[in-house]
């Protein structure tokens, strides 16, 4: 696996000086619970970064529920917790890898390649009998210089202009009922971007919560009709749970993958954007 490391890998490198471990635990609707969980117990030496305070910008009229953070501000925050351009970063959460994948993607976006997600999250670490701690590390600041990779990102106007042209293959990472517009527990409008295919992000994991192998991911994407020649744009509700699909596509060898960071919550903030409901395949066949 290119971007995912097992518990044993991290355990063997726990005290290596160039490794920074980042706890990304966060629960939507309970914004303080992740930090509280970290303060109670975490992987020894781990630092904490908060999805909404650190890994997102404040919510505005557009940009979705978790807008991308300002690159310069994020760079400073990363440096403050000890991440430099030479650091090996390992992120974990207890949300199936969704929050850790957000940090993974942001670091890739800022040009930092040496970043990984720990397989199975904090629960797998504890279940393996590995050490935990409530002690918070003394932070030694580092200097991180970003080289923003704009090619990893698309904006709303690019998605809008691509509709019907075949330029992008759109992948909607939400659960099927939300994609089809049958249920929408979070956003004010239900449905999906016209033409998008539905690939629920959590289907990239095994039943035990660990990630599927690269070969299994390739089969998963082949079954959905994706080709490695496609230029793929991945989105979800707010740009967070799309990132595990981006990571899984990378594991499977897809190289032409972009994130629509604002995602559905940004799409519906623009009044004239078209909205589709139901199942694309079924409608196309009919």
The residues that are catalytic are 236
Strands of the sheet containing 88-92, edge to edge, are 4-5, 115-118, 88-92, 19-23, 47-48
Distance (Å, whole) CA 180 – CA 61: 25
First to last CA, the chain: 40
Distance (Å, whole) CA 196 – CA 189: 16
Structure tokens given for 3: 């971007």
> Cα 269–270–271 angle (5° rounding)?
105
Closest CA to 144 of 84, 55, 82: 84
């Amino acid at each position: 696996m290119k971007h995912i490391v097992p518990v044993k890998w991290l355990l063997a490198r726990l005290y290596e000086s160039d490794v920074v471990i980042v706890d990304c635990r966060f629960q939507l609707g309970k914004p303080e619970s992740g930090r509280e969980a970290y303060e109670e117990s975490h992987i020894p030496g781990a630092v904490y970064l908060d999805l909404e305070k650190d890994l997102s910008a404040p919510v505005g009229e557009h940009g979705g529920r978790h807008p991308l953070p300002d690159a310069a501000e994020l760079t400073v925050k990363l440096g403050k917790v000890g991440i430099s351009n030479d650091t090996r970063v390992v992120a974990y959460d207890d949300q199936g890898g969704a929050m850790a994948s957000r940090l993974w993607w942001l670091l890739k976006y800022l040009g930092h390649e040496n970043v990984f997600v720990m397989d199975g999250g904090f629960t797998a670490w504890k279940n393996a009998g590995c050490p935990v701690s409530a002690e918070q590390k003394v932070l030694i600041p580092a200097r991180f210089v970003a080289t923003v990779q704009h090619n990893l990102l698309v904006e709303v106007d690019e998605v809008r202009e691509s509709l019907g042209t075949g330029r992008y293959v759109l992948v909607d990472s939400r659960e099927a009922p939300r994609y089809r517009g049958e249920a929408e527990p979070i956003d004010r409008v239900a449905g999906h971007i016209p033409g998008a295919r539905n690939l629920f992000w959590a289907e990239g994991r095994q039943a035990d919560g660990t990630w599927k192998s690269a070969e299994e991911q390739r089969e998963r994407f082949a079954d959905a009709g994706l080709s490695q020649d496609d230029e793929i744009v991945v989105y979800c509700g707010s740009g967070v749970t799309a990132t595990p699909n981006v990571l899984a596509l990378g594991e499977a060898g897809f190289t032409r993958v972009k994130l629509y960071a604002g995602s559905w919550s940004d799409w519906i903030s623009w009044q004239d954007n078209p909205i589709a409901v139901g199942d694309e395949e079924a409608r196309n066949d009919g």
